[in-house]
Structure formats: structure tokens, C-alpha cells
Structure 1
Amino acid sequence: MGYKIAVFDAKPYDMATFDKVNEEYNCELTYYKEHLDKNNVLLASGADAVCIFVNAKVDAEVVDKLHAYGVKLIALRCAGFNNVDIAAAAKKGIKVVRVPDYSPHAIAEHTLALMLSLNRKIHRAFLRTRDGNFSLIGFQGFDMYGKTVGVIGTGKIGKVAVGLFKGLGMNVLAYDLYPDNKWAEATGVKYVALDELYANSDIITLHCPLTKETEYIIRDESIAKMKEGVMIINTGRGKLIHTKHLIDGLVCKKVGYAGLDVYEEEGNYFYEDHSDSVMTDDVLARLLSFNNVIVTSHQAFFTQEAMSNIAHTTMDNIQDFFAGKELKNEVVYNA
């Protein structure tokens, strides 16, 4: 194609994957390690399109500058698009595309890994045995079989996760604004109201997009309705959970476990090495102090298969745009 693409938030693994896939497309890829925002948007000058990830901040100001620089397309290499002002992009005639499906299996499997690790204290056992301590005190878990898991969001990821839970013999309650009743009937899943899901689930896992309706869907009011010692898993978006309220729940033991692959203020830390600096985010530091909390660095998607799918879909999106084809992965602004 020969089009110039500015790729932001590029890590070595991104570059390796995109360079390999780009052999099929022949674009001119320029990589930048920074997240795209108002402070570095100048780097996009002269590019036909920008390729961004989850921590970019593309507000109206950034969109205006992209338009002034001649950028015609914003290509997200992720499913979420809450970090882009879609209305501003539409006003300037800049199309936005995304990667809605790169590997639901990767994220569902990471969800299960967090559940099992928290339940059987794998993270603590790893550290303890390395010190020669083989005591079992404090490591007792519970059988997942027969327990009830509440799944909020039954899109592709949620459905794959349900298949894993069913394989363990778990009961599944589900909530979705747009329930798939045919699928639920075929798989033995029961759609319920949120309050019923909160009250009856031993484990709650989030697989819904971040919208105005779902922002802080887990907060003090919802936690109060949950079972004592509930396990909460979030591999979706950080702002699905009000972190300070989650910490309150952990302190009073209402929440027995939390597995978080995302965090509402993750942009300041995730995907970077801060091991040599003092952590200034008191909320994140507090989360990391609990031995019944596991925080991973937004890595649920991070498999070989997913990375390849992300690169191929992103480049297909770009190719389709410049070829004037229908954009099957376009994010359309609805006024």
C-alpha cells in the first residue's frame, strides 16, 4: 500500500509482530514508544493514519491536531475505544476502526488463571516454597465445582469463559443488556438481574465494555449486595470497578479475593518498568499490599495467537480504508 502509519505505544513485541505482518501490506511503519496524547501528537504529522493502543488519550484537542496534520484514520489495535473522542473524530471526518475480536480464548483463559491462582494461593505458594517454606498454613482453598459464578457481559469473551466454567462443573448466572437467550438455553446459563447475580454468586467476573452504563458497575452499593468473601475478577476495563470501594470491601472482608488485569489509572504504570522508582499512586500501592489480590499488567490478551490476529486485523482495517472498502470494524458515532 505504501501508506505512512505512525504506530504509538510500540513495544519490541509490537514491532516484531507488525513488521512480520507488514510484509504482506508494504506500509511505511514508524514506531513511537509514547502513548499518543496532546503532548506528542506532533509525531503524527505527515502520517496517513495513526495506530494506537489502550492508554492513548485521543480527546477533541488531539483529534483537531490529527486532522490538521492530515491524518485520515485512527486505527485502534484493541477492542475498547473509550479513550477516543468518537464524536470529535466524526466531526472532523476521521474514521476510527478497532480490533473487536483478537482472541476471546486468551482473555477467558487468563480470567480462569486468576480465579484458580487466588483460590489455591498459587502466587503465595510460589514465593513461600522458594524460601524453603513448605507449610500449608493459610493456603486452604475451595472446590470450584458446584460454585456459582456470575458473568457480567456475555459477548465473545464472556461466552468462552462460560464454557470454561461449565467444564469445571460450576453454575453460571449471567447479566447482559442484550441477552442471547438462544445461547443461554443451549448452554444452561440463566440470565438474571444484577442484584440477583450479586446476591448469589461466589465469584463475579467482568466481561462487559466500558460505557456510561457500566462505569463503576462494581462500587460500594453493589459490593454491599454480594456474598461475604466474594471473589471479583476484572479482565475488562479498569473503570468497571471503583477501586477505593473495592479496597474498602477487602478491608472489611466482604470481598475475599480480587483478581485484576486492569486498573482505572493504569495508564501511568502499565506496560512500563517502574521497579526502580517510588510508586506514587497510593491506591495502586494499597491494592498490591493485599495477599488476597493479584494484579497483572493488562496482559490477558497477550498470547502469540492474539498478537498475530491484532496485527492482521489492524492492517486489514487500514488497507480497507484506503481502498475505499466497507469498514467492518468501524466505530460509528451515534449522536
Structure 2
Amino acid sequence: MKVLIYSAKDFEIPYLENANNGKHKLTFIKDALTSKTAIKALGYDAISIFSADECSFMILEKLKDFNVKYITLRSTGYDNVNLRSAARLNIKVANVPAYSPYAIAEHAVALLLALNRKLIASNSRVKQFNFNLNHLIGFDLNGKTIGVVGTGKIGSVMSKIMHGFGCNLLGFDIEENQCLINDFNIKYMSLIELCKQADIISLHVPLNSDTHHLIDRNLIEQMKPGVVIINTARGLIVDTEAIIEGLENKTISAFAMDVYENEKNLFFKDLSYKMPEDNLFIKLNAIPNVLITGHHAFLTIEALTNIAETTIYNLDCWNDGTDTENELTETI
């Protein structure tokens, strides 16, 4: 099968080539999938895209005209793909449903620890041989209450880790995880009640119509004063303007994120040679008690291996005329 890999990153290419082992003819391009770059898929049976690629109805129509039959995502999230249109056009779409919940949850904990214990500021001082400890005070995680919003695979791992720190666990999800209740004494409650009680809130929900701007101005007003918020889920789950307001009025004491609602024009690129044209991000990035990483929570050896193997597995199934259990268009 001839496959065009959009948004190919240098760090992932070896993993994909190793998983492929010469089975499919892979072509890697750095370009993201857009209405302008869709033409590059001409002559290919399948394409592979990443979470920042655009796969709207108009683009899917172009891909159909170019005789592309399959789309395999190198991500879990698929809100960037119009699945209903893909199904109508008979284009099969599959994703990587679970590559490493540990990678994401552990990154969330790393953000929390670095933010709380002022590790970035402390290291920056030491680099300049400044060993002054003023303004580096954090707090013990032991005994604190953490609200886990979304207790699926990643949220479950996050709950387990924070239980190990001695935290009290609160959970919010459409389905309660009985194992978390039994093993870690997590207490499920409404999102508003969780926000009122939690010292720390960690977000692990998928992006959909119900979770878009889930963390908005009204909800932030309900939060416990001085709350710390960690977002390693999807950028659009939080209203960034509301987050900035919460930081300015001290409702939020600190905020860390690995995802951003307008990240498509920023992340995965080197923009060090020019100022990004995103005043909202610039303002957020300038706030001292904000810690941002550029969507690299998934960046572990294990996760990259699983992403590559599942991506090739999806292609193998389609090439053999069989179904993959990772197909998203079957249920539409």
C-alpha cells in the first residue's frame, strides 16, 4: 500500500519505519494536511495524519477525488476529522486508541511538581550561580485534594500516582470507575462540587461538544481560591481568556498546560526567529506562575513505539481486506 505520512516529525520517522519493516511504501512529508496540501495525496492509497492536521468535509472530498481510501491517525483524539463525511465518502478512518496513558499522566505530574516547587525558576537561578531561595516556596502534595476530571485510562493512571503521593482523590466522569473507588478511595461528584473542594485539578477528558470550554469563567468562579490547574488533555477544553482572568484575580494560583486551544499555528514548529502572532498565548506565556510545554506529553519511547505499531497495524488490516478494531467510521 502506498501511504503518505503528513506532518512527519524527525523523531517519529525511525519508529514508523521500524514498525513498517518494508511492508508498505511510506512517503514522509513535513507539511500538515490542509486544503492546499491535499493534492499531494494524489496517487496514494492511504494517508496518515497527526492531531494538528485538518480533515474537514471539503478536504475529505478532495481526498476521495484523489482515490484515497484510508486515513490512519497517529493520535488518540480525532476531533480534527469529520467522521460522518468520511463514512459517507466511504473513506475508512482509524486511530491509536491507547498508546501510553503513563506517558501523559506522568507528564501531568511532572508539570505539577515543576510548577509547585518552582523548579524552572530555581534552575535558572543556579545557572547564573544565584542560590537565593526567595519566592521559591511550594507546598506538600501529601494531604492535598486533587480533582481528576476524566477517569479513563489516563485519568486512572493519574489517580494512582497521586494516591501514591498521599492525596485525597475526587473524580468527575460520565461513568464511575469502580476500581478507582475500591483501590484508591476516589469520590465521584459533580464538576462544580469537585471545583469547590479541589486544591489541584487535572484534566483528562476528550474534546467534544460537551467538553469544549468546559473550564470557563463561570466554573472558575466556583473553584477553591488558589487552585492549581493542569491540562494535558486538549487545548479547547479550557477557555484561555478565563484562565488568564483567574490567574490575575488569584483564584488560580498556578496553571500548567501541554496543549493550547490555538496550538495549530504554533506547536510543532520552530518560531524562535519571529514573534508568534498570537497575543493570547504571548500574554499567558508571560505570566510567571504559568508553565507551558509544546504538546510533548506523549513523547516517550514506549508511546512512540505503540503509535507507530498501531498505525502500521491499521494499514496492514486494510491491506489484507480485514477490519481493524481501531476503525472510527464503523460506528457512524
Q: TM-score, normalised by structure 1?
A: 0.97
Q: Cα offset for 1:325?
A: 1.9
Q: Cα offset for 1:333?
A: 6.5
Q: Cα offset for 1:330?
A: 1.2
Give the equivalent residue in structure 2 for 1:7.
Answer: 5
Give the equivalent residue in structure 2 for 1:220.
Answer: 217
Task: Write out aligned runs for 1:40-79 (5 A).
Answer: 40-79=37-76
Could you list the per-position Cα deviations for residues 78-117 of structure 1 after superposition, in whole angstroms to 9, with x for gaps in the alignment?
0000000111101100111000111111111000000000
Q: Cα offset for 1:334?
A: 5.5
Give the equivalent residue in structure 1 for 2:154.
Answer: 157
User: Aligned pair count?
Assistant: 332
Give the equivalent residue in structure 1 for 2:90.
Answer: 93
Could you list the per-position Cα deviations for residues 211-232 of structure 1 after superposition, in whole angstroms to 9, with x for gaps in the alignment?
1001111110010000111100
2-structure distance, mates of 1:291, 1:11: 30
Q: Does the CA-based 8 Å contact 2:86-2:329 persist in structure 1?
A: no
2-structure distance, mates of 1:21, 1:256: 44
Q: Cα offset for 1:14?
A: 1.7
2-structure distance, mates of 1:128, 1:314: 43
2-structure distance, mates of 1:126, 1:186: 37
Work out whether 1:29 is the aligned partner of 2:21.
no
SS at match of 1:275: coil
Work out whether 1:189 is the aligned partner of 2:209.
no
Task: Indicate the larger mover: 175-184 or 116-125.
Answer: 175-184
Task: Write out aligned runs for 1:1-335 (5 A).
Answer: 3-23=1-21, 26-332=23-329
Could you list the per-position Cα deviations for residues 290-329 of structure 1 after superposition, in whole angstroms to 9, with x for gaps in the alignment?
1100110000000011101100011001111222223211
Q: Does the CA-based 8 Å contact 2:38-2:59 persist in structure 1?
A: yes
SS at match of 2:4: strand
Q: Cα offset for 1:253?
A: 1.0
Q: Does the CA-based 8 Å contact 1:52-1:74 persist in structure 2?
A: yes
- Could you list the runs of 5+ residues in structure 2 that have no partner in the other structure? none
Q: Does the CA-based 8 Å contact 2:118-2:138 persist in structure 1?
A: yes
Q: Does the CA-based 8 Å contact 1:5-1:29 persist in structure 2?
A: yes
Q: Cα offset for 1:332?
A: 3.3
**CA RMSD, Structure 1 to Structure 2 (Å):** 1.1
The one-letter code sitting in structure 1 at the alignment partner of 2:314 is N
Q: Does the CA-based 8 Å contact 1:157-1:207 persist in structure 2?
A: yes
Could you list the per-position Cα deviations for residues 219-248 of structure 1 after superposition, in whole angstroms to 9, with x for gaps in the alignment?
100100001111000000000000011011
SS at match of 2:120: helix
Percent of pairs with identical residues? 39
The one-letter code sitting in structure 1 at the alignment partner of 2:206 is P
Q: Does the CA-based 8 Å contact 1:86-1:333 persist in structure 2?
A: no
